[in-house]
Chain A
Amino acid sequence: MGVVALFVFSLLYISPGDPAAVIAGDIATAEDIARIRAKLGLDEPYMVRFGNWLWALAHGDLGVSIFTGLPVARLIGQRIEPTVALTLCTLIVTVALAVPVGVVAAWKVGTWIDRSVMGFSVLGFSIPVFVIAYLLIMLFSMQLGWLPVQGYRSINEGWWPFLSHMILPSAALGTVYMALIARITRATMLDVLSQDYIRTAQAKGLSSNQVLLGHALKNASVPIVTVIGIGIALLISGVVVTETVFAIPGIGRLTVDAILRRDYPIIQAVTLLFSGVYVLINLAVDMSYTFLDPRIRY
């Protein structure tokens, strides 16, 4: 995380655009710009600024948005709900679908079921998330009229409004992730299914369900959970795009707007936040190994 913080900060430091000049506008004089620079502390040396920034960060202060003048932490706070809702929905649905699909594909290896799962998986890797998103909107919202085109409803406004606005974004966002998890599940399951203890289990007359779920899936769980953790990166980058397509007022939209306005503190904070979440999730995944496989000790 130290490297990430230094990196994120340095990025903004070396950036060629001068935020002070951006705020001051076109008709500002050199003195105006200098005054704004001093006010923002932009004229201090690199290490001093980094120190100040880290100190503020440790106090939960993510800085102030250059464009709106509001604290970044508050801006993120306002936008976090839709993003968390979307990511959680996608995560749960995707994992709940992809793992069984991968298991079935491994069990029926070589059959048309297996082939179509693998075919879907390659397709899922190849179609960018916003193309899937638009295809889904065109089909389900515009042609069939089943679901709303864009927008977001808070869960407080009732279950159905919330869910109906969540189905298409989740499906679009989850496709790549699902392709990845299904693929890895199938590969590890095939690996495990060729082990001796599986043959033993079959030989002692256990049903195929017991063998698949009780013996095989349990032993295949470590790589699968690892990929679920790593794949969160796909979800995070997908969220930015998905929120843009579906006009969801979340952190992704905040980021895209910030990019267009060169609002560095927001980009800085979002990158840091997402990376932090990503690192924490993968830490949790590492810790879960001890539960999934008692042979692993730390």
Chain B
Amino acid sequence: MSAVPAALAAPRSVSPMWRGFRDAFRRHPTAILGGVLLLVMVAAAIAAPWLWTVDPQALSPVRRLKPPSGEYWFGTDMLGRDVYSRVVYGARVSLTVGIAVAILSTVLGLALGMLTGFVRWIDAILMRVMDGLMSIPAVLLAISLMALTQASLENVIFAITLSEVPRVVRLVRSLVLSLREQPFVEAATAAGTGIARTLVRHILPNTVAPLLVQGTYIFASAMITEAILSFIGAGTPPNIPSWGNVMAEARSLFQIAGYLILFPGIFLSLTVLAVNLLGDGMRDALDPRLARRM
């Protein structure tokens, strides 16, 4: 009973923004947690040079394979490079790949999906190609693409994007196909709106919510794929400190220097977890029908 009058008396003392945050947190605590964790990672990636790091590429044969200590927080690798610095700088690579792939594949998938949803002859051809691409497991597709091109960050992004796009096209196409039968699209067409305008004004806004959720999941899976590619030696070139690279270099050493795997592994998992939690929260918020189930 005492809680009610207190709550009635209190509202003025809490700022609206804080209250909004608190309500959101109460409804989706894990999503907010994920968001905060992701923000911390992004901030760390941007502020890497000021976070007590040294040059992540600086070699020092004298201090090879030192276990974690006060001086080298995460220890040093077999070339004497500071693992803490490499992990903090590695956040830049993972997050860049994740965000770039998420944006590129969503935009590309959106364009192709809208096209296939409205133009029949393109639909027939493009969807066969997409089915073909989808029948190659995504990571395998990225591996074979990377095996053929020079290892570079752009190629990693391109390879992962290509393996994610078919799924986005599928999603957008199914959305467009169901949306174009909706009365409001029919009304727009009856009122003389052209195809281009209908697509942009009426179809596009209705695909944003599902795409946002899908994009978040692509963000997460792209980071994992980048790490896998780097780990098996088909990813980011070794001169860029990515989490996958740090772990790949430790492959033969993990029995004597497990920390080389442990720290980048924990950072990678935490970041992916953060993005996944955010995605789950967004899906719950945008699609209440699914909220209680998934």
Contact A122 B273 (CB under 8 A): yes
The listed residue (A131, A234, A258, A274) touching B268 by CB distance below 8 A is A131
Choose, from B57-65, B178-186, B230-238, the stretch at the interface.
B230-238
Within 8 A of B (CB), among A248-280: 255-256, 258-260, 262, 264, 267-268, 270-271, 274-275, 278-279
Cα A245 to Cα B251 in complex, Å, equals 7
Within 8 A of A (CB), among B82-106: none
Cα A237 to Cα B128 in complex, Å, equals 23
CB neighbours of B273 from chain A (8 A): 122-123, 126-127
Q: Chain B's nearest CB lies how many Å from the CB of A166?
A: 20
With a 10 A CB-CB cut-off, give which of B232, B272, B273, B292 has the most chain A CB atoms.
B232
Contact A274 B140 (CB under 8 A): yes
Contact A262 B228 (CB under 8 A): no
Nearest residue (CB) in B for A122 is B276
Nearest residue (CB) in B for A260 is B233
A190 in contact (CB, < 8 A): yes
Cα A281 to Cα B143 in complex, Å, equals 22
Cα A268 to Cα B144 in complex, Å, equals 8
B136 in contact (CB, < 8 A): yes
CB neighbours of A94 from chain B (8 A): none
Cα A128 to Cα B251 in complex, Å, equals 15
Q: Chain A's nearest CB lies how many Å from the CB of B201?
A: 34
Contact B137 A128 (CB under 8 A): no
A120 in contact (CB, < 8 A): no
The listed residue (A3, A258, A274) touching B129 by CB distance below 8 A is A3
Cα A237 to Cα B148 in complex, Å, equals 18
A284 in contact (CB, < 8 A): no
Question: Given that A16-B148, A241-B231 are known contacts, is A126 also in contact with B272, CB under 8 Å in the complex?
Answer: yes
CB neighbours of A2 from chain B (8 A): 132
A138 in contact (CB, < 8 A): yes
Nearest residue (CB) in A for B221 is A125
CB neighbours of A236 from chain B (8 A): 137, 139-140
A64 in contact (CB, < 8 A): no
Nearest residue (CB) in B for A149 is B255
Cα A262 to Cα B146 in complex, Å, equals 10
Q: How many residues of B contact A (CB 8 A)?
A: 47
A287 in contact (CB, < 8 A): no
Nearest residue (CB) in B for A150 is B255
B277 in contact (CB, < 8 A): yes
Contact B272 A255 (CB under 8 A): no
Nearest residue (CB) in B for A236 is B137
Contact A237 B137 (CB under 8 A): yes
Cα A73 to Cα B137 in complex, Å, equals 21
Contact A130 B269 (CB under 8 A): no
Contact B147 A267 (CB under 8 A): yes
Cα A134 to Cα B277 in complex, Å, equals 24
Cα A182 to Cα B109 in complex, Å, equals 29
Interface residues as binary, B129-142 with A (CB distance below 8 Å gives 1, 0 otherwise): 10111011111110
B280 in contact (CB, < 8 A): yes
Nearest residue (CB) in B for A256 is B232
Q: Which residues of B contact A (CB under 8 A)?
A: 128-129, 131-133, 135-141, 143-150, 220, 224, 227-228, 231-234, 247, 251, 254-255, 258, 261-262, 265-266, 268-269, 272-273, 276-277, 280, 292-294
4 additional A-B pairs beyond A130-B247, A236-B137, A237-B140, beta carbons within 8 Å, are A8-B144, A237-B143, A271-B144, A275-B135
Top 7 nearest A-B pairs (CB, nearest first) are A3-B132, A237-B139, A15-B148, A131-B265, A126-B273, A233-B137, A126-B272
Q: Which residues of A contact B (CB under 8 A)?
A: 1-4, 6-8, 11-12, 14-17, 122-123, 125-131, 134-135, 137-138, 142, 149, 183, 186-187, 190-191, 232-234, 236-237, 240-241, 244-245, 255-256, 258-260, 262, 264, 267-268, 270-271, 274-275, 278-279, 282
Q: Write 29 A-B pairs (CB below 8 A) sorted by A numbering.
A: A3-B135, A8-B144, A12-B148, A16-B149, A16-B150, A122-B276, A126-B273, A126-B276, A127-B272, A128-B224, A130-B228, A131-B247, A131-B265, A131-B266, A131-B268, A138-B258, A233-B138, A240-B139, A241-B228, A244-B251, A259-B233, A262-B147, A264-B148, A270-B140, A271-B136, A271-B140, A271-B141, A275-B136, A275-B140
